[in-house]
Amino acid sequence: MIEQELIGDFRMKWERIREAMLKEGADGCLLNIGINLYYTTGSMYNGYFYLPAEGEPWFFVKRPNGLSGEHVVYLRKPEQLPELFAANGLKMPEKLMLEADELTYSDYMRLRAIFQPRETGNATAMLRLLRRVKTPHEIEMTRLCAQRHAAAYAEIAECFRSGMTDLQFQYEIERRMRQHGSLGLFRAFGTNMDIFMGSILAGANAEAPSPFDFALGGAGADASCPLGANGTPLTDGTAILVDMAGNFSPYMTDMSRVFAVGKLPDEAYRAHDVALEIQAAVEEAARPGASCAELYNIAYNRAEKAGLGGNFMGTKQQAKFVGHGVGLQINELPVLTPRSKEVLEAGMVFALEPKFVIPATGAVGIENTFLVTETGVEKLTIFPETIHQL
Amino acid sequence: MIEQELIGDFRMKWERIREAMLKEGADGCLLNIGINLYYTTGSMYNGYFYLPAEGEPWFFVKRPNGLSGEHVVYLRKPEQLPELFAANGLKMPEKLMLEADELTYSDYMRLRAIFQPRETGNATAMLRLLRRVKTPHEIEMTRLCAQRHAAAYAEIAECFRSGMTDLQFQYEIERRMRQHGSLGLFRAFGTNMDIFMGSILAGANAEAPSPFDFALGGAGADASCPLGANGTPLTDGTAILVDMAGNFSPYMTDMSRVFAVGKLPDEAYRAHDVALEIQAAVEEAARPGASCAELYNIAYNRAEKAGLGGNFMGTKQQAKFVGHGVGLQINELPVLTPRSKEVLEAGMVFALEPKFVIPATGAVGIENTFLVTETGVEKLTIFPETIHQL
């Protein structure tokens, strides 16, 4: 089931899950959501992954009918799980971890009725905490993604033609991203994160509030997709914030850069410089043990001091975070937000995105993905950070 | 909140929901999932739509902060709903419909704890039944989508270059689709439907089974995206099934066409003809009152009779349906499957997709989207159906 050269990486993940289960007093964890199956097995199958708090994992597969290996068992429906547990000498769990924040109510209740555990725990919350710290293979995949992401960004300027709209510009960037190996699928956690490949914000559209939990908004191309580019003409004096997410490997990177058509107002260049200063200040303070709330405050206070508090992370609607974990999903933990209780740990990967919205002009600022090292942070998304003239 | 010219359309939907609630003995329906908010309000916001079984709808909005109109109420968190109900003279429901197949377990439990209804009902199941029959505006949007879909398909042949892989071909098609107004986002119901814009199957990859509930499989570009194109070279003798879904309006259409590189084996042309015959036979039988199971059987029996039962809807893994409803999501009801109890009704929109996998060559067959009329069906996706030579 698992590729042989990666078995050590997966054993490390399983061991972390077992430790977390023991702390919770749980004796089994059953996963069904695709991204969690991929995290724990390297495959996205239709079925279940079961890890006892003490013992080896089991892979219960409905489809596809090609997976094989030790502890791989086929089934038609979850109601067979108790008999399959019995047949394989697996103890039914008394406290079972289930994906409470991802499974639908109906699927959760179905599994609970099948297992009838004394108690259930929240496997989603547990996994989201564990997934913050990446394994060596995950870090390698993230680095690969960052390199491809930067290579695609190097072609953005070539995509521009005078007279284009933001949407037309985006279509060309999307194609270049795909040619550089973008998997296309943009994975986010939660039901309130609808997006297609990324976001481009230009001109007055940068002020448009959106319903989603992304850093900035944008009206979007249609009322059914209310985020990002909306057909704004890219005329002289427009700042274009390109925040096309990097899913060039299953482990994503997040990176934003600003492109300018003609000359922008001085305020835009100044705000961009402030964003770069904020990045430098947070980068300087970020290391294992650093408080995520404190990192947010460093950013916010500098924005305030520069007289740009009203433009920081939006105008009409302002996001209350300046960074977030990145991994298999774009919005992982930790979140750099004033109410966070989290601290950085070595092996975490997070995006830092101080941005300012300049009414009528667009959005400026920066976003990069960082790896937390033993002593500080390492920037993974390397690409020139000044405003790129088109 | 609702665009004035569409108010009649939304009133029709609300009335259908009220009728369904009365049949269930429910006195209120609370919706939170984006696609259901869009269906009932024309906006995708972060918040709740509440419809009493007797009375006008209410719109509880967290974000964006721009929506306004009668019965629009802002809130920070769902725990405020009881006080907002009281302040607005709204009765707390005794039987409350909640999106049981869409809300996460945690979100569902949170809402249940807030409302403490005597009983809950499944709003997802109710809405999926109602959404089968489209309103006049929904049908108009579907027609618009079908026209743009066909216009994009007319450019597929131009996207081909000798020596390409299936993925490279797909990138060019994606760009053309976007230029024709594709919204990008591919919406599907359920957690087991990961896909990016659509699927292209060529050569031996057409046999690769996938974990998802789509008609055919394909290994995909990465283990984290196990569906569709996988880098297969488009060499002579390869059939390419292009099934790039049409989201050129919020109301999707589904259409597949076959493209050939060089000459295909005779078996492929013959199987394609059988697929066209199946389409004609089902089209002939489809009308209000026709049984969806019977329509599947017409298709399956013809495939069997042609000696192609083992190639029908896959080889190593065969899908057990030949069509499905289409709308805001690609996999709506009804499903043309042998166990279906559903019958067609005027106003339903469904995709019919008899397909055959020919080992080593690829997949052939057809897919079109049909509107059920008072007397039969009308094909919406008009584009030549023979195998297109590249």
State whether B124 and B263 are in the same domain.
no
CA distance B253 to B351: 8
- Contacting residues of A for B72, CB less than 8 Å apart: none
Query: Domain ends where: A130, A163, A185?
Result: A130
Q: Which helix H or strand E contains A50, and what residues bound it?
A: strand A46-52
Residues of chain B numbered 253-312 and touching chain A (CB < 8 Å): none
- Contacting residues of B for A47, CB less than 8 Å apart: 211
Find the CATH number of the domain harbouring B80. Answer: 3.40.350.10
State whether B356 and B254 are in the same domain.
yes
CA distance B154 to A100: 45
- Contacting residues of B for A208, CB less than 8 Å apart: 64
Tens-level pLDDT at each residue, chain B (390 residues): 788 899 999 999 999 999 999 999 999 999 999 999 999 999 999 999 999 999 999 999 999 988 889 999 999 999 999 999 999 999 999 999 999 999 999 999 999 999 999 999 999 999 999 999 999 999 999 999 999 999 999 999 999 999 999 999 999 999 999 999 999 999 999 988 888 999 999 999 999 999 998 999 999 999 999 999 999 999 999 999 999 989 999 999 999 999 999 999 999 999 999 999 999 999 999 999 999 999 999 999 999 999 999 999 999 999 999 999 999 999 999 999 999 999 999 999 999 999 999 999 999 999 999 999 999 999 999 999 999 999
- Burial, A160: exposed, middle or buried (Cβ in 10 Å; 0-12, 13-18, 19+)? middle
Q: What token pair was written down for B374?
A: 């008072």
State whether B241 and B201 are in the same domain.
yes
State whether A75 and A157 are in the same domain.
no
CA distance A32 to A124: 11
CA distance B157 to B170: 11
State whether B254 and B341 are in the same domain.
yes
Partner-chain contact B104 A103, CB within 8 Å: yes
Residues of chain B numbered 43-82 and touching chain A (CB < 8 Å): 43-47, 62-66
State whether B80 and B144 are in the same domain.
no
State whether A149 and A252 are in the same domain.
yes
Q: List the one residue out of B194, B219, B220, B223 whose CA is nearest residue B209.
A: B219
State whether A253 and A209 are in the same domain.
yes
ipTM, 2 dp: 0.97
Find the CATH number of the domain harbouring B187. Answer: 3.90.230.10
Strand partners, B104: A104
Residues of chain A numbered 103-122 and touching chain B (CB < 8 Å): 103-109, 122
State whether A293 and A174 are in the same domain.
yes
pLDDT in tens, A304-349: 999 999 999 999 999 999 999 999 999 999 999 999 999 999 999 9
State whether A232 and A113 are in the same domain.
no
State whether B201 and B90 are in the same domain.
no
Q: List the one residue out of B93, B94, B95, B47 whose CA is nearest residue B72.
A: B47
Nearest 10 degrees: Cα torsion B41, B252, B285, B386: 170
Searching chain B, which residue's CA lies closest to the CA of residue A218?
B64
Q: Is B389 on the interface with A (CB under 8 A)?
A: no
Query: What is residue B255's predicted lDDT score, i.e. its pLDDT?
Result: 98
CA distance B243 to B255: 6
Residues of chain B numbered 318-347 and touching chain A (CB < 8 Å): 328
Q: Is B171 on the interface with A (CB under 8 A)?
A: yes
* Residue keyed to tokens 């709003």: B123
CA distance B376 to chain A (A): 31
CA distance B335 to chain A (A): 20
Query: What is residue B3's predicted lDDT score, i.e. its pLDDT?
Result: 83
Of A197, A223, A328, the CB nearest to B184: A197
Residues of chain B numbered 206-245 and touching chain A (CB < 8 Å): 208-212, 217, 221-226
State whether B126 and B140 are in the same domain.
no
Query: Domain ends where: A130, A154, A182?
Result: A130
- Cβ-contact A64, B219 below 8 angstroms: no
pLDDT along chain A (390 residues), means of 10: 90 98 97 97 96 97 90 97 98 98 98 98 98 98 98 98 98 98 94 89 97 93 95 98 96 98 98 98 98 98 98 96 98 97 98 98 98 98 98
CA distance A210 to chain B (A): 5
CA distance A326 to A368: 11
Query: What is residue A245's predicted lDDT score, i.e. its pLDDT?
Result: 87
CA distance A185 to chain B (A): 5
Query: What is residue B4's predicted lDDT score, i.e. its pLDDT?
Result: 87
Residue type, A125: A
The number of distinct structural domains making up chain A is 2
> CA of A82: how far to CAs of A54, A70, A90, in Å?
18, 19, 9
What is the domain range of residue A183?
A: 136-389
Searching chain B, which residue's CA lies closest to the CA of residue A210?
B64
What is Dmax (Cα atoms) for chain A? 72
Partner-chain contact A178 B171, CB within 8 Å: yes
Query: Domain ends where: B98, B130, B162?
Result: B130
Partner-chain contact B64 A103, CB within 8 Å: no
